[in-house]
């Protein structure tokens, strides 16, 4: 049943791409935090609805060792988890580009599939979501991103470099609760220094034997880091 639902979602995403470039709204993944006595790849296998295409992309990219063993040493990795729907969003965007190119060239557009993502592109995009150390929510300092008169200022947080060489700024922010400052939930944010994409992590601190997963929201599109 899950595979059928996902196929419908993919079909809708591709159909959507045929006629519009409008951004999707934020949808939280609802993935649970917790400790999993298995590898990161093993954890993904327990939830194929969210991670099946992710596993396929990891395999195509030749990066399985990072998710099945401690390839970076005993500390493992931190994976900014790209879920299946984020991959589908990427395919939908590629379909839009193909449609536009076909129209300008006076030819029929070809249908873009998940399998059309090349090994090189898969590897590049996934490496930009892998941090070569374990980082828990508690390890990330409080920070703030403010914009005044068009100028953006960052305070606090921490900067990390992904295995793809991209720099990401991580920071946590504690929300207010019942009008009491700094008494609500603590959220983790990621900002790409290259693309300036800012993302609120949907579910953090998913612990596995080979590293930590901070799941990106469904609104994230593969390649935005």
| Total-model pTM | 0.83
Residue 222 forms part of a structural domain: no
- Profile the chain (225 residues) by mean pLDDT over runs of 10 residues: 47 43 34 80 96 98 90 77 98 97 96 96 98 96 90 94 98 88 89 94 94 97 96
Residue 97 forms part of a structural domain: yes
Q: How far apart are CA 46 and CA 51, in angstroms?
A: 9
Q: How far apart are CA 60 and CA 62, in angstroms?
A: 5
Q: How far apart are CA 160 and CA 225, in angstroms?
A: 13
Residue 104 forms part of a structural domain: yes
- Given this model, what pLDDT does residue 182 score? 78
- Given this model, what pLDDT does residue 220 score? 97
**Host domain of residue 86:** 2-215
Contact yes or no for 170/192 (Cβ under 8 A): no
Residue 223 forms part of a structural domain: no
Number of separate domains in the chain: 1
- Given this model, what pLDDT does residue 125 score? 98
Residue 74 forms part of a structural domain: yes
Residue 221 forms part of a structural domain: no
Q: Give the CATH number, domain containing residue 202.
A: 2.30.180.10
Residue 195 forms part of a structural domain: yes
- Given this model, what pLDDT does residue 74 score? 53
Type and span of the H or E element at 205 = strand 203-208
Per-residue tokens: 175:
């929300």
Task: Give phi and psi for 32, each to the nearest 5.
Answer: -85, 145
Counting every residue written for the chain, the total comes to: 225
- Given this model, what pLDDT does residue 147 score? 85
Residue 54 forms part of a structural domain: yes
- Given this model, what pLDDT does residue 25 score? 30
Strand order in the sheet with 130-131: 34-35, 203-208, 211-215, 77-81, 130-131
- Given this model, what pLDDT does residue 75 score? 67
């Amino acid at each position: 049943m899950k595979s059928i639902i996902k196929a419908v979602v993919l079909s809708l995403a591709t159909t959507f791409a045929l006629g519009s470039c409008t951004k999707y709204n934020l949808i939280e993944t609802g993935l649970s935090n917790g400790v999993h006595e298995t590898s990161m790849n093993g954890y993904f296998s327990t939830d194929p609805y969210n991670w099946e295409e992710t596993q396929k992309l990891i395999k195509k990219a030749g990066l399985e060792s990072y998710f099945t063993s401690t390839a970076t040493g005993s500390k493992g990795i931190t994976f900014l988890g790209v879920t299946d729907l984020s991959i589908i969003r990427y395919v939908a965007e590629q379909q839009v580009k193909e449609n536009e190119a076909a129209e300008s060239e006076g030819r029929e557009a070809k249908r873009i599939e998940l399998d059309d993502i090349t090994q090189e592109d898969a590897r590049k995009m996934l490496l930009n979501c892998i941090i070569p150390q374990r980082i828990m929510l508690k390890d990330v300092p409080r920070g703030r991103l403010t914009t005044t008169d068009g100028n953006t200022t960052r305070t606090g947080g921490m900067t990390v470099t992904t295995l793809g060489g991209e720099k990401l700024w991580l920071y946590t922010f504690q929300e207010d609760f019942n009008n009491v400052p700094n008494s609500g939930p603590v959220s983790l944010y990621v900002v790409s220094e290259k693309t300036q994409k800012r993302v609120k992590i949907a579910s953090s601190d998913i612990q596995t034997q080979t590293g930590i997963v901070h799941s990106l929201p469904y609104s994230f599109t593969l390649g935005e880091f």
